[in-house]
Amino acid sequence: MYSNGQSSIIIDHDILRESYIPTKLGAREGQSEQLYCCLSPVVMRQKPIHTWLYGRAGTGKTSTAINVLRHLEQKNSIRSVVINCFEKDTFYEILDEMISEFKILRAHEHRTSFKLEKLRSFLKDRPFVVVLDEVDQVRQHELSSVLYNLDTVLNAGIVCVSDSTRALMELGDRVRSRLNPHTIFFPSYSRQTLLKILTTRAELALAKGSWTPAVLKYIAGMAQGDARAAIRILRRAAVLAEYRRLDRITTEALKEQKKAIRDRQRFHIMTSLTQDHRMLFNIVKDKGWILSGELWGEYLRRCSRLRRKPLASRTFSDYTNRLVQARLLTSERARVKGRVRLFRIAL
185 forms beta bridges with: 54
Residue 33 has a CB neighbour count (10 Å cut-off) of: 12
For the structural domain made of 189-269, what CATH number should be given?
1.10.8.60
Residue 2: per-residue pLDDT: 41
Sheet of 329-333: strand order equals 289-291, 341-345, 329-333
Q: Return d(Cα 285, Cα 297) in angstroms, integer.
A: 15
Tell me yes or no: is domain 29-185 CATH 3.90.180.10. Answer: no
**Which stretches of the chain drop beneath a pLDDT of 70?**
1-7, 347
Position 6 scores a pLDDT of: 52
Question: Using one digit for the tens of pLDDT, what is the confidence trace for 229-278?
Answer: 999 999 999 999 999 899 999 988 898 888 777 777 777 788 888 999 99
Sign of CA dihedral 250, 252, 255, 257: negative
The residue extents of the domains of the chain are: 29-185, 189-269, 273-345
How high is the pLDDT of residue 50? 97
Amino acid, res. 309? K
Three-state DSSP state, 184: strand
Cβ density class 81-99: b for 16+ within 10 Å, e for less: bbbebeebbbbebbbbbbb
Angle between helix axes 292-305 and 275-287 (nearest 10 degrees) is 120
> Is 273-345 CATH 3.40.50?
no
pLDDT for res 195: 96
Q: How confident is the model over 178-213, as pLDDT tens digits?
A: 999 999 999 999 999 999 999 999 999 999 999 999
Q: Which of 278, 294, 276 is nearest to 328 (CA)?
A: 278
* Ramachandran sector of residue 225 (left: φ over 0; alpha: ψ -120 to 50; beta: rest): left
Burial, 69: exposed, middle or buried (Cβ in 10 Å; 0-12, 13-18, 19+)?
A: buried
